Amino acid sequence: MLDRDKPHLLIQRSAQSTEYQPPSRAVSPATPVVPADRQGHGSRLRGELELVERAADRQERPISIEGAVEGVYATFESFPGVRLALESLDPRQGTTHPELMSVQESRAADGSTTERATVFIPQGTVDYFLRRVTSYLETADESSPKNRKLIDPIQSVRTATIAALWTDPPADFPGPGERVWWEVWLRKRDGQEAQRLQAFAAASGLRMGRQSLGFGDRTVALLEATREQLSLAIDVLDDLAELRCPSQPAQFLAGCDAREQEEWVAELASRLNPAGADAPAVCIVDSGVFREHPLIEGSLSPSDCHAADASWPVHDDRGHGTEMAGLALYDDLGEALASQQQIHLRHRLESAKLLPPPPGENAPDLYGALTAAAASTVEIEAPFRSRVFSLAVTAPTTEDPESPEAAFGQPTAWSATLDALAAGRSVITDDKGLVFLDDGADNARRLFVVSAGNIHRWESDHLTRSDLSPVQDPAHAWNALTVGAYTELDTMAEAPPGFAGWAPVAARGELSPFSRTSVPFSRMWPVKPDVVLEGGNLARSPDGTDFDTPPNLQLLTTSAPLRGNRLLTVTAATSAATAQGAALAVGVQSDYPSLWPEAVRALVVHSAEWTPAMLSRFQGESRKRGRAALLRRYGMGVPSLARAARSAGDALTLITQDVIHPFTSGKMREIHFHNLPWPSDILADLGSTQVRLRVTLSYFIEPNPGRRGWQRRYSYASHGLRFDVRRAAESNADFEKRINQKAVAEEERRPASIGESGEWFFGSDQQRAPGSLHTDIWTGNAADLAQRGALAVFPVTGWWKENPTRDRSDNGARYALVVSIQTPREDVDIWSPVAQQIGVPTEVAI
C-alpha cells in the first residue's frame, strides 16, 4: 500500500434523476481458488528450501549465548485466500524438530488474506520439509499427491528477517535507527529463555525490562533496541517467537504519585498548540469536564461548558466526562506524553453535562429531553461551529429473553430523540411519542457518536456473552454512529504485582469483553455497532473465577482530581472507544469542512477494516446469514483516520452528496444514477488482477413521531435508500431496466439478468438490512471493474410513503455515497486520472 498522501475526491455534479418503480431483484454466487501446477510448484519450493538450508550452514554467530540451539528462522507464505497447514509446520516430532513461532495475516486489495508463518528450523532439520516435498513431487501427477495439504498452499519459503516476527500492524513496525521498547515473546523451552535474552541484551549493550511474565507456552519480556540491534538476536537465539509494540509505554504513569504525574503533564502542556476558537469541536455529553486540567484548559473555554439543567453546576463531579475528554482530544494520550514533539491540536472541546450531581440520578424517561436540551444549549452558544457529539452514557437494557419487553433493538424515546436531532429536528417527548417543534433544517443536522454499552458480568466465553448482551439504549438509534470495543491489549507483561498467573480474556484483535452487540436484535432493527475501537481487556485469575482490569489492559487519559490531586488515570470499555470514535469523526470534519454529518459517518465506517482475528471468523463462515451475524458483533471493524481522510495512488476514494425525493402520493417517486469519473483504461489494462470495490451509503431518517410506529421498521423510519452497481457486461440502458421497471417500455421484456462477476461480501442480505447506513465490498477482476462506474440510489418504503399527508419528500432526503477502489499494484496510479477528470490538481498531496 502506497502512502495515503492524497485527498479524497469530491464529486460536485448531481446525479441523473428519473421516475422510479422497483422490479424484483436477484444475486449470484462466487467461485473457489485452484492450486497452481504441482510439478513446477514443488520444484520451486524444493529450491527455496535448499537455499534456506545453505543460509543456515553459512550463518555466523556474532555473539555466543549459552544454551541457545543453532538453527534458522524461515517464513512460509501462503497463496492469497488460502490457509497454511499450520499443524504440519509445527510437527513436534522427536527431541529436535522445527517449531512454529508466529503467524501473520495481511489483507490484499481484493479482500483475500495471505498467511505468513515463521518457523524455527534447528540445524539439520530442514530435511523434514525436503522429504515431504520430494514425496509430493513423486506423486504430483496423481489426483491426490502425498503431503498436498502441506505443500499446495505454500507460495514461497525464505529465510526470515526480524520483521517476519512482527505480529502488530505492519505500519507500526519501527523505522530504521528508531530506538523503541519491544515486547519480545519467547517460546518456553527450558525455563532459561529470559536469561538468554538478558545475556544477549548485556552483550549488545541493550536495556531489558525488570520483569518478564510467563504464561502458556510463552514468556514475555521488554527490550529497548533499534530494529538493527534486535536483528542480531535472530542469528543467535532460538527462543524468539513474536515481536510486538509494548501495550502503552506510558501506562506506568497511571500508577505514579500525584507529583510525578504533575511533572509529566506540565511537560506535555508546554508542547501543546491548541486549536483556534473556530475549529471543529467534540462535545462531551456526560458528567461535565474538569476544565482547569492543564491538558484541557487551552481547548475548552468557560463559555463552552454547559449543563442540560440550568440548576446543575457545569463542572465534572463524577470523573467520567473528564476521562472521555482526554481521549476525545488526544486519542492516544500515552503517545503524546511519550513524544518529544510539539503537539498541534486540530479540534476543540465542548461540554454538555447530562448527569446530575451525585447522588442524584435522572429518571429514565427524561434522558431524551435532557439530551435535546444539552444539544440546544451548546448550539445557542456557538451556532456556527462544526461539532461531533460524543455520548458515552447508556441506560440499562432488560436481558431476559422470556420477557415480553425484550424487543431488543426496538426504538425508545431516547433513541428516537437522537434520530430526530440527527435529522435536524427540534423535539420534546410526551406519552404519545415525539413532538416535532420545527420543520427541520439541513444545516441543523447533527452527528452523534454513541457507546454500544457495557457488560458488567463476565464469563470465560466472552464472545458468547457479548452475543447474548444487546446494545443498550440509545445506541440502537438509526442515525447515530454506534461504537463498540475491541482490544489489542493482550499481554500481562506490564501488570502490577498481584496479577501473577492472570491471563487476558480476549485474544488480540478480538471483541473486548466489555462490548455489547446487536446479535440478539430482531432482523428488523439496525446492525450495531457500526465500528469498534480500542476498549481495553479483562484479566482472568488462574482458577478462572475472578476478573479484573489491571492498568496495563486499559487506556491512559486525563483525570478530574476528585480524590486527591492525580491528573492521570486509566479507563476502558465502550465509553473509551466512543471518545476515540468522536476524535476520529471530528478529524474528518477538520479535513473536509464541506461534508455533511451523513458523509462524515459514511467515511468513518467506510474506513473500517476487520482485524485478522475478526476476519478469520468471517472467512470461516460462508453463509451470508452467518456473516450478517458476525457483522452484528463486530460492525465493519476498526476505523482509521488515515483511510477515512486520505486516498493513495493505489487506493482511490470518491465522495458524492446529493438529495433525492423518495415518494409522491404514496408511491415511489425517483431514482438517482451516478456515472462516476472512473479509471477505466487503467483498470482494463490490469486485466485479471484482483481488485476491491467498496460502497457505503449513509443517510438520516426521520423517526415516526407516534410511538405506535416504533414497533415496526417500515412504520418507524421516514424512508429507506439502497444502492446498486452496474455489472461488467451491462450497458447503462440495461442497468436501468434491471433495477427500474419504469425504464422498461410497454410490451417490452426486461433484458435477461446478467450474471454478477466477482462477489459481494454480504450481498442482498446487507442490501435488505434495516438501518440508515449500508456498506458492502465487491472483489473481482480489474477488467470487470473497469465497466462498473455507474451506481444507482433508490428508495424503499417508509412512513412518509404510508402517510402521504405527512410526507416530507418534497423537501428532499439527503444522502452521502462513498465509493473506493483498491488495487494490489503499487506501480499503478488510479487516483491521478480521476483527479484530472474532475479538475483537481494532481500534484496535491496533503
Check residue 432 and give its pLDDT: 66
What whole-number distance in Å separates Cα of residue 509 and Cα of residue 532? 10
Under DSSP, the state recorded for 238 is: S
Q: Give the three-state DSSP class for 66.
A: coil
Is the separation of the CB atoms in 480 and 531 below 8 Å?
no
Contacts of 765 (CB under 8 A, 6+ apart): 624, 625, 627, 628
Q: 3-state SS of 773-799?
A: EEEEEEEEEHHHHCCCCEEEEEEECCH
Angle of helix 127-138 versus helix 38-58 axis, rounded to 10:
160
Task: Give pTM, 2 decimals.
Answer: 0.82
| CATH of span 173-244 | 3.30.70.260
Check residue 33 and give its pLDDT: 44
Which CATH superfamily, name and number, covers 251-397+411-627?
Answer: Peptidase S8/S53 domain (3.40.50.200)
254-292 b/e (C-beta count within 10 Å ≥ 16 → b): bebeeeebbebbeebeeebebbeeebbbbbbbbbbbbbe
Pick from 155, 134, 157, 132: which is nearest to 73 by CA? Answer: 157
Check residue 726 and give its pLDDT: 93
What whole-number distance in Å separates Cα of residue 615 and Cα of residue 605? 16
In this structure, the chain runs to a length of 846
Residues forming beta bridges with residue 516, ordered by sequence position:
none
Pick from 727, 707, 701, 711: which is nearest to 784 by CA? Answer: 727
What whole-number distance in Å separates Cα of residue 511 and Cα of residue 3? 28
Pick from 237, 174, 177: which is nearest to 201 by CA? Answer: 237
For the chain, give every domain's residue range. 6-33+648-838, 173-244, 251-397+411-627
- Angle subtended at Cα 587 by Cα 168 and Cα 393, rounded to the nearest 5 degrees: 85
Is the separation of the CB atoms in 180 and 74 below 8 Å?
no
Check residue 405 and give its pLDDT: 36
Q: The cell 402521504 sits on which residue? A: 804
What whole-number distance in Å separates Cα of residue 607 and Cα of residue 585? 11
Angle of helix 624-634 versus helix 612-619 axis, rounded to 10:
160
- What's the first-to-final CA gap in the chain, in angstroms? 17
Series of mean pLDDT values for 10-residue runs along the chain (846 residues):
91 93 56 64 94 84 84 91 86 81 75 84 92 94 89 93 84 87 83 89 85 62 88 87 67 74 92 96 98 97 96 95 98 85 96 94 84 94 97 74 54 90 85 74 93 91 94 95 96 84 94 96 91 97 93 94 87 97 98 97 98 93 86 97 96 97 96 96 94 97 77 81 92 92 78 71 70 94 94 94 90 97 92 93 56
